Amino acid sequence: MRVLYSLLFLVVFSTIAHCERPLKVGLVVQPPFVIKNSLTYNGLAVDLWKEIAQGLKKSYEFVECPPNNLCEPFDNLQNGDIDVLLGPISITTDRYKKVDFTFPFFFDRVIAITAPGYWHNLFLFMKLFFISVGTIIALLIIVFVIYINLLWYYERHYIDNLPKSYKKGIAYIFWHHVFTGRYLELPKSLPGKFLILCHKTVFYFIIISMNATFLSFITVTLANYASPVQNVSDLTKGKIGGVTYSKPYKIGLEFGLNMVPFNSLEEGIQALEKGQVIAVLEDFSLAQAYFKKQNKTNLVTSHFNLKQDLYSFAVQKGNPLLAEINMQLLELQQRDVPEKICREYFQEGAKNCAF
C-alpha cells in the first residue's frame, strides 16, 4: 500500500511540475539590448536573462511588446499579463509606482559623438601633462636638493677629497650624480649611509610613479580629452545632430542646443564626418554598438554626460521572483558574466555592465 501511495505521489508531483506555467517574458525591442532576428531574439538583456533563467531553472516564453507605446508593457506587467519585462528599462518614479525593479545590469548615459580633435586641444594636453608629470618632477628635484645638502653636511668631515666649503661641496656631489648617476665615494658616516639608502629607494619609487602617471596620461587623459567638445557650453558653438524624437534629441532641445534632426544614427554620423554638425548626441550603448558593428575607429565620445540612466529588469509588485532574479544577478556579477556579454555588443564600455 505504501508503494502505491508513493507512486501516486510521484505521478501527481511530476504532473504538477510538468504543468507549471512558463514565465511570460515581455520584450521591448531596442538594439543592442533586445534584437529581433525573424523568429528569435538576442541582445544584451536577452542573453543576460537566458543566464538568469538557467540559474532559476524555470521555463519561459518571450512576448514582444508594442514598440510605439512604452506605457503598455508596464500596464501588462502590473496586471499580471507578463511576469518579467526586458529591455533598456530605466527606473522612474511613475514606473516604480506600478512595478518593482531588479538590481541594475547596465549604466547608460547620453554622450556627444565627435571627430577627434587632438590639435584642437593641444594646449590642454600640454597643460595637463605638465600638471601631472611636472608635479612629480618637481618633487624629485626637491628631494634631490635636500639629499645632496644633507649628504655634504654629514660626509664633509670623513671624505678627504670632498670640498669643505658649502658651494664647492654641493657642486662636487651634484656633478658626480649628473655624470655618473651616483655618489662615487662610499659614505663613512651612519647618516650618510642612511641617506644613500633612502635616496635609492625614493628615487626608484618616484621613477615608477612617473612612468605610471605618464602611461595613465597617454591611455586615459588623451582618450578623455580627444574630443573637441569638452563640456555642454562647447555644444553651443555649432549645429548638433540627433535622431528625431529620441531621448538624446529631446535632451539637446532642453539644453537649448541648435539641434539638427536625422532619421537614424548612421545618417547623423555621415553628417558629422562631412562637417555638417560638430557633434551627434546619442545613448552611449547605441553609440558603442554602432561603432562595433561598423568598426568605427575615427570617432570619439565625450567624457561628460548630459543624462544618465540605470537599466533593470522589471517584475510585478510583490512578486517573489524579484529576489530570485537579484540573487542570480549577484552570482553572475561575481563571475563577470555581464561584462563578457557586454563585450559581444560594445566596442568599449564593458565596465558599464559591472556593479
pLDDT digit string, tens, across residues 264-304: 999 999 999 998 999 999 999 999 989 988 888 778 888 88
Nearest to 43 by CA among 72, 64, 59, 74: 64
Chain centroid offset of residue 134 CA: 28
Strand 314-316 versus strand 40-42 pairing type: unpaired
Neighbours of 24 (CB within 10 A): 17
pLDDT of residue 18: 42
The CATH number of domain 2-105+312-353, selected from 3.40.50.700, 3.40.640.10, 3.40.190.10, 2.160.10.10: 3.40.190.10
According to CATH, what is the number of the domain 122-224?
Answer: 1.10.287
- List the pLDDT tens digit at each of the 355 positions of the chain: 454 444 444 434 343 444 468 999 999 999 999 999 888 999 999 999 999 999 999 999 999 987 666 668 888 888 889 999 999 999 888 888 889 999 999 999 999 998 876 555 556 566 666 766 677 778 778 888 888 888 888 877 777 677 778 888 888 878 877 776 666 566 777 777 777 777 777 777 777 776 666 666 555 555 555 667 778 888 999 999 999 989 999 999 999 999 999 999 999 999 999 989 999 999 999 999 899 888 887 788 888 889 999 999 999 999 999 999 999 999 999 999 999 999 999 888 778 887 6
The CATH number of domain 229-307, selected from 3.40.50.300, 3.10.20.90, 3.40.50.720, 3.40.190.10: 3.40.190.10
Counting every residue written for the chain, the total comes to 355
Q: Is the pTM of this model over 0.85?
A: no
pLDDT digit string, tens, across residues 197-241: 777 777 777 777 766 666 665 555 555 556 677 788 889 999 999
Please name the residues in contact with 330: beta carbons below 8 A apart, sequence gap of 6 or more. Answer: 103
The domain spans of the chain are 2-105+312-353, 122-224, 229-307
Please name the residues in contact with 118: beta carbons below 8 A apart, sequence gap of 6 or more. Answer: 125, 222, 226
Please name the residues in contact with 110: beta carbons below 8 A apart, sequence gap of 6 or more. Answer: 247, 248, 251, 281, 282, 283, 284, 305, 306, 307, 308
Buried-exposed string 171-189: b where 16+ CB fall within 10 A, e elsewhere: ebbeebbeeeeebebebeb
**Most distant CA pair in the chain, distance:** 112
Decide if 2-105+312-353 and 229-307 have a common fold. yes
- Residue 295 has φ and ψ, to the nearest 5°, of 55, 45
Grid cell listed for 265 = 544614427
